[in-house]
Amino acid sequence: MPPAEAAVPSPTPPEPPAPLVAVAEPSPVVVAPNPFAAGAELEPLPAPADDLWVRIRRGYAMPDLDDALVAKWEQWYASRPDYVARMLDRSRRYLYYIVVEVEERRMPLEIALLPMVESAFNPNAMSVSRASGIWQFMPSTGTHYGLRQNFWFDSRRDVIAATESALGYLLKLYADFGDWQLALAAYNWGEGNVARAIAKNQTIGRPTHYASLKMPDETRNYLPKLQALKNIIRDPEKYGLELGDIPDAPYFAVVKTTRRIDMKIAATLAEMSIEEFQYLNPQHNRPVIAGANEYTILLPIDKAELFAAKLHLSDQPLVSWQAYRLRNGETLPQVAAKFGMSVDALRAVNGIGARSKVPIGHALLVPLQGPTEAAADTLSNAVFTTVPQGRTFYYRVNRGDTLAGIAARYAVSGQDLRRWNGLSQEGVKVGQTLRITSDLAPNVGKAKRATGTEVSTASAKAKPKTGKPAARAGNGSATAKAGVAAGG
């Protein structure tokens, strides 16, 4: 065949738009807004996948426990099929992602079941010790492992961020002890406590494996709970339970955007209920997603691309909340009436305790009739200092007080005090009023200062090695109860 004649070059057609969702483990990522041609077709949904439970069973790698405590917890779960069903239903949103992350780190897949013990997979679970999220991080420990907590969001409830921090911490514990059972005991009880128990056994010539150590009842029951769940997932029919199918495929996709947006508007764009949206994005403390340069939003994989498209095409304001500064002589009831909301709702939205007093000039989050660009601007210019956990109160600085001393008195960090009060330096002035959120009431803080107890508490939280032990001691059973109470 003779060579073809050179054709006259024609204009190069534009490149077809890249798909908005690239399905990849551990989860697909959508960057929104994302330029693409109008009318781009949505990617077809992935083909049906195998059952995730099969994958988990194949990944079991820890030695089995077989004792009376395991039997006790098998019976406990088997006698509560409704509780187990709710826990498993919640887990279907997050479990695939966690399994992939655990496998990538070459960890036993039993670790993926640990949130069942910690929180019953309830992302909003809060223990009596203020441990939060599916992995139940304490505030100080979360901060140490990079989980930010501020007015706008609490990353301990962020499924992706908290999972990364929890698995990183567990790997550290395994490196410390060289044994997964001891590592899990340390996650619950604290590595310092486990190390001391091992040293004590070594001194008296006793074995140092998990079963031989003397430990609190809570920690003694921690691994048997996990073993019971492991056994139930291995053979649910034996216990009269049904697991339900969980596909071995991503449940959610990750959407990244720089735009502030109301939670309700985001849910509407994704064609989801606000409840389901919050299950995937539980880290946000307020009714508007704000407070950062970029926001990560999790959405069901079949809704993410449509959401990104709508967000890109939308030229309407997306924020219907604004910053409002309390004026001289103005009360919270007056502000609530001005903006058509109840006092309780105003306090709840801003994380203000029922007995807390709000100083003049304090920034409050209040609603508008509808979304406006000006509202979003006010959120950028205001400094919000309330945090959602603990009791909020105000402390007047006395002669001889230091920022570090006040922080120690109420078992918070100096960084928290600076953030809550907009302080740029370590120094405080006599007569200055500081906003504090703590589980310690003001009179309790003073009593602890007299005995010096608060200093040891604060220093324990500040040290990487002892932050988790101090935080998690006595926490395991409380977190399980929190999971039940909050939706278990």
Residue in this structure with the two tokens 């007056």, named with its chain if needed? 334
Q: How far is Cα 117 from Cα 84, in angstroms, rounded to an integer? A: 11
| pLDDT value of residue 37 | 37
**Considering only 78-92, 194-208, 372-386, 466-480, which range has the smallest mean pLDDT?**
466-480
pLDDT value at position 369?
73
pLDDT (0 to 100) of residue 391: 62
Max Cα–Cα distance, the chain, nearest Å:
100
DSSP labels, 223-259? HHHHHHHHHHHH-GGGGT------BSS-SEEEEEE--
**Domain ranges within the chain, ordered by starting residue:** 29-33+247-313, 52-245, 321-381, 391-461
**Percent of the chain whose predicted confidence (pLDDT) is above 90:** 54
**How far apart (Å, rounded) are the C-alpha atoms in residues 231 and 222?**
15
| Least reliable range by pLDDT among 17-21, 207-211, 260-264, 446-450 | 446-450
Whether 321-381 shares its CATH topology with 391-461 is answered yes
41 assigned to active site: no
Q: What is the pTM of this model?
A: 0.71
pLDDT for the residue numbered 456: 27
Q: What is the 3-state secondary structure (H, E, C) of 172-218?
A: HHHHHHCCHHHHHHHHHHCHHHHHHHHHHHHHCCCCCCHHHCCCCHH
Which residue has better confidence, 27 or 101? 101
Q: When comparing pLDDT for 106 and 416, which is higher?
A: 106
What pLDDT does 251 receive? 97
Residue with the bigger pLDDT between 119 and 150: it is 119
Query: Mean per-residue pLDDT for 201-216?
Result: 95
Query: Is pLDDT larger for residue 441 or for residue 4?
Result: 441
Reduce the DSSP state of residue 470 to 3 states and report it: helix
* Least confident stretch, 103-107, 185-189, 206-210, 450-454: 450-454
CA-to-CA distance for 132 and 138, rounded, in angstroms?
A: 7
pLDDT for position 390: 53
pLDDT at 4: 42
Lowest mean pLDDT among 2-11, 276-285, 405-414, 431-440: 2-11
Q: What is the mean pLDDT of residues 215-221?
A: 95
The CATH superfamily of 321-381 is: LysM domain (3.10.350.10)
- Give the fold, CATH level 3, of 52-245: Lysozyme (1.10.530)
Q: Which residues, in sequence order, are bridge partners of residue 261?
A: 289
52 or 454: which leads in pLDDT:
52
- Residue-level pLDDT at 408: 75
pLDDT at 49: 52
Chain-centre distance for alpha carbon 28: 20
Read off the pLDDT band of 31 (50, 70, 90).
Answer: low
Q: pLDDT band for 448, please (50, 70, 90 cuts).
A: very low
Q: Active-site residue among 101, 103, 110, 118?
A: 118
- Tell me the percentage of the chain whose pLDDT exceeds 70: 75
Topology at the third CATH level for domain 391-461: Membrane-bound Lytic Murein Transglycosylase D; Chain A (3.10.350)
Chain position carrying tokens 């200092």: 385
Supply the pLDDT for residue 419. 77
Q: Are 299 and 270 in contact (CB under 8 A)?
A: yes
Which pLDDT band holds residue 161 (cuts at 50, 70, 90)?
A: very high
The average pLDDT across 136-157 equals 92
Report pLDDT for 383.
Answer: 64
User: Residue 140: which residues within 8 A CB-CB, separation 6 or more?
Assistant: 413, 461, 462, 467, 470, 471
Q: Euclidean distance between the first and final Cα of the chain, in Å? A: 75
Q: How confident is the model at residue 417 (pLDDT cuts 50, 70, 90)?
A: confident
pLDDT score recorded for residue 440: 58
**Residue 26 and residue 289 in contact, taking contact as beta carbons nearer than 8 Å:** no
Q: DSSP letters along 39-83, please? A: TPPPPPPPPP--BHHHHHHHT--SPPP-SHHHHHHHHHHHT-HHH
| Mean pLDDT score across all residues of the chain | 80
